[in-house]
Amino acid sequence: MFATRRYEDEIFNKLHTLLNGDVCRILRREGNISGNTIASWATRYSSMESDIAHATFQTVAPAAYFSKPQKLVVTVHDILPIFPGNIHDISTRIQWKFTPSALQKADAIIAISNFTRMELIDHLKINPKIIHVVPQGVDHSIFRPLDKKESRQQLGLDQNSTYILVASSNQPHKRMDLVKEILLELRSRDSDIKLLKIGYGDFLNVDGVINLGWVPESEMPLLYNSADAYLHTSSYEGFGLPILEAMACGTPTIANNCASIPEVIGSGNTIDMDSASTIEICNYTIEKMASDIDELALSRSNQFTWEQTALNTLNVYEEVLKT
């Protein structure tokens, strides 16, 4: 959920500036029970007589059943939970039982990628005319190329090892099974290769993995810059913010050619991990790691800023107010 919270924080802060403070925020509570449930929809979320209410996460949309605002905008990050086998707890099942129909009440929907837009059209039958694609951004003052030696020194990492970074949960679509295969093959060629695993407190128990668990946001630029490569094996992404952050740091990035990922990293700079063999993926990884800085990824990352995300979001508000 860290990417979603980052989105909420950045959108609010930037819009607060653009609208001269004429915006208020109701923070979602952390946790499944106290967060988006029927009780929170009925008691916490209110349009507060505003011109527009913006639900920055899709499962807040059912609040419209209890208090329909004058104009409702909803950001949809992905619709993964509607697919069988992807709903693992009762809170999520409750949220997604009401979310698809609640999205039909929106005056506008912001999809964070064209991939998510097509998912909404194909699977939830949302009117294409109300869907606006507004990609996420990255703070280039924070996520930028840094000295690798100094970054490693600050994190206490060995200067002589080769590090591959993975920032991900262990959910099935994140393909940690493939990460294990790739690491085993790479370490069979060079035992000094290690994998840094962060994200959601999920560990990966295999030789050569350093499980860092949850990492403070302030350390993320150091991690990206300490890594010789960033590996992203996921088969489903609404956007893929860690990919963009790695790119902005100039870290050589190896990403799966599926879902929204090519929209972020750029076509021709990915590998189809569903069809490629583990050996082919490893060869591609070694080839990418030959460069200290991924200049192509770094250049492309400049197309994405939170300022532009906020401006495009404001454009959606203005269009909604005209209808």
Residue 295 lies in a domain: yes
Residues 180 and 276 in one domain: yes
In a domain? residue 284? yes
- Please tell me whether residues 168 and 272 are part of one structural domain: yes
**In a domain? residue 129:** yes
Tokens 């069979």 belong to 188
* Nearest-angstrom CA–CA distance, 251 and 176: 20
Statement to judge: residues 237 and 173 lie in one domain: yes
pTM of model > 0.85: yes
The answer on 83 and 110 residing in a single domain is yes
CATH number, residue 154: 3.40.50.2000
Q: For residues 14-23, give the mean pLDDT.
A: 92
309 and 297 within one domain: no
In-domain check, residue 262: yes
Answer yes or no: is 142 within a domain. no
Where are the alpha helices (H) located in the chain, listed in sequence order?
Answer: 2-18, 38-43, 90-103, 114-124, 148-155, 176-189, 220-226, 241-248, 261-265, 278-289, 295-301, 306-322
| CA distances from residue 18 to 6, 37, 188 in whole angstroms, order as listed | 18, 31, 53
Assign residue 311 the CATH number of its domain: 3.40.50
Q: Which residue has the tokens 């924080």?
A: 9
pLDDT per residue as tens digits for the range 85-121 = 776 777 777 888 889 999 999 999 999 999 999 999 9
150-166 pLDDT tens trace: 999 999 999 999 999 99
d(CA 109, CA 263): 19
Per-residue pLDDT tens for 178-213?
999 999 999 999 999 999 999 877 899 999 999 999
Q: Give the structural domain span for 33.
A: 2-137+305-322
Question: Rounded distance, CA 31 to CA 19, Å?
Answer: 30
Shared-domain flag, residues 200 and 124: no
pLDDT of residue 29: 62
pLDDT tens digits, residue range 38-53? 556 656 666 667 889 9
Domain count, the chain: 2
Residues 41 and 59: beta-carbon distance below 8 Å: no
CA distance 79 to 170: 18
Looking at the fold, whether 162 and 254 belong to one and the same domain comes out as: yes
Same domain for 173 and 37 = no
